Amino acid sequence: MSRMFEYETYMVKLAVNEPDYKAATSPDVAGNIVKAIYDNLDQSQEHLGVLFLNSKMNCFGFKTNFAGTMNACNVDVRLIFSGALTMNAHALVIYHNHPSGNPEFSSEDYQLTKRLVEIGILLNIPVVDHILYYRGDTRSLRTTDATIFEGRNQW
């Protein structure tokens, strides 16, 4: 008796207000893409997702992987990188929000980013930034503390 296996495939499309937001060549431009994404999400709970970048650092898709509570979001790093592998992404930008409006990255945000950067190095899919969305604005972890990304994964 033979077994049949089914695998789910999916495409992710980016829908933003301005077409020139696709070229995510800096933290500011990536922040604009993240703002457009959060226009369509419930901002009373925390979400974490990833922008998929091609070799020219153009954003060709995104996936909001996790939704949590008002102040926390459990993250399974396997799901972040499984999407990147499925989409054949060259690089990633991680994004999440703080429903409280706090503009500071937490110690958990730093730890998660460090872990994702290291895994990205192993998989040859660099994590180039982590964007925080708060009160309609964004902040880049690369701009805030570049030591996490130092010497690798440049824009």
Residues 6+ apart with CB under 8 A from 125: 81, 84, 85, 89, 90, 91, 92
Q: What is the mean pLDDT of residues 12-41?
A: 73
Residue ranges per domain, the chain? 19-148
Return the CATH fold of 19-148: Cytidine Deaminase; domain 2 (3.40.140)
Instruction: Give the pLDDT confidence of 85-141 residue by residue, as tens digits.
Output: 999 999 999 999 999 999 999 999 999 999 999 999 999 999 999 999 999 999 999
Express as a percent the part of the chain with pLDDT over 70.
75
- Strand bridging mode 91-97 / 127-134: parallel
The answer to whether the pTM exceeds 0.75 is yes
Instruction: Give the pLDDT confidence of 28-78 residue by residue, as tens digits.
Output: 999 999 999 988 888 888 889 999 999 988 899 898 876 665 555 667 888
Cross-strand pairs, 92: 52, 127
How far is Cα 26 from Cα 130, in angstroms, rounded to an integer? 12
How far is Cα 122 from Cα 120, in angstroms, rounded to an integer? 5
**Nearest in space to 75 (alpha carbons), one of 29, 4, 127, 134:** 127
Q: 10 or 115: whose pLDDT is higher?
A: 115
**Nearest in space to 72 (alpha carbons), one of 32, 41, 99, 102:** 99
Q: What is the pLDDT of residue 112?
A: 93
